[in-house]
Amino acid sequence: MKILITGGAGFIGSHLAEALIGRGDEVCVLDNLSTGSLDNLNHLQPELGFEFICDSIFNERLMGRLIERSQVVVHLAAAVGVKLIVQQPVNTILTNVRGTEILLNLAANSKQKVLLASSSEVYGKNSKIPFTEDSDLVLGNTTKSRWSYACSKALDEFLALAYHKDYGLPVVIMRFFNTVGPRQTGAYGMVLPTFVSQALSGKPITVYGDGQQSRTFTYVQDVVQAIMGLIDTEAAVGQVFNVGGIGEITILELAQRVKRLTNSDSPIIKLSYDEAYQEGFEDMRRRVPDISKLNKLMGFKPRVNINTMIQLVAEYYLTHMRYYGKKQAAGISLSV
């Protein structure tokens, strides 16, 4: 199968490309490297059937050619990370909405199957837990740029489902819940790699707010298996699926586990959201998925628990990040 992955040099995309190549698919990755990295793909460059193109999803002529020669498009290209979203709201909206519009319009010409990456952020301030795919989306005020990402991804979903209804475009919506694992960077506000990096380097582990906000984390390989299953399952077309893990943990408890599992001496400190982001920043208190729909469709069951996720992220940092030395590596606890 010939598969195009937009944003494929990113964290999730690179793992997906690796798995698809591993099962014998042909994979083309398109990425402008604004947040992705070639380091994530270097090991794939010699592989038969793999191609990387450094360009933008806004290049309509190129996108048209790439989509036309593909059987499936996995659309992962997006502005990601809370810090980036708060700092660059215009870029967030244009990248997510305009980029998706271009892709859907081009794919509609030849009816390629499109898997669209969305986010648990679309549930916004809905307090009814766990979130099911038909739960209401409750977004904050438009004066809070923090909600621009959630709004843009919700609009992406509306647009994709409209293309499915009006033009018969086979689309599948995937709402990811806090995906973590090797290759993820904390540069844009991702919490687990940030905590692990701080713990390994002896810096304070910074918890925002009171730390009682909770999340459900999903290991990247579990996410990849879900995506591959949705690629292969025709019954998924026209539907929305939560792709998430199991088990809820507060951010403060996550910091404590990172500190313990890395044998770190780093203190855990709390910062207000105003200090971390901007005045009046709002956050979701809980973010927990109901994944029964995906389980019923294809037997999806997350396999990796949070302690193992922490261990694997820490091992990756110690192996790949040159600024961590043997002293820190010797201190890693492998017990989970």
Q: What is the rounded distance in angstroms from the CA atom of residue 294 to the CA atom of residue 248?
A: 19
Fill in the amino acid letter for 239: Q
Known catalytic membership, residue 149: yes
Task: Compute CA 302 distance to the chain's CA centroid, rounded to the nearest angstrom.
Answer: 16
The CA-based angle 319-11-28, given to 5 degrees, is 115
Residue with tokens 């990113």: 10
Hey, what are 312's tokens?
Answer: 């694997």
| Cα 285 → chain centroid | 19
10's torsion region: left (phi>0), alpha (psi -120 to 50) or beta? beta
Q: Which of 149, 163, 208, 277 is catalytic?
A: 149
Report the alpha-carbon distance of residue 56 to residue 216 in Å, rounded: 32
Query: In the chain, how many H helices and how many E strands?
Result: 13, 14
Q: Which residues of 133-143 are buried (b: 16+ CB within 10 A; e: fewer)?
A: bebebebbeee
**How many CB atoms neighbour CB 86 within 10 A?**
19
Give CA–CA dist 138/121, Å, rounded. Answer: 10
| Residues annotated as catalytic (active site), given as ranges | 149
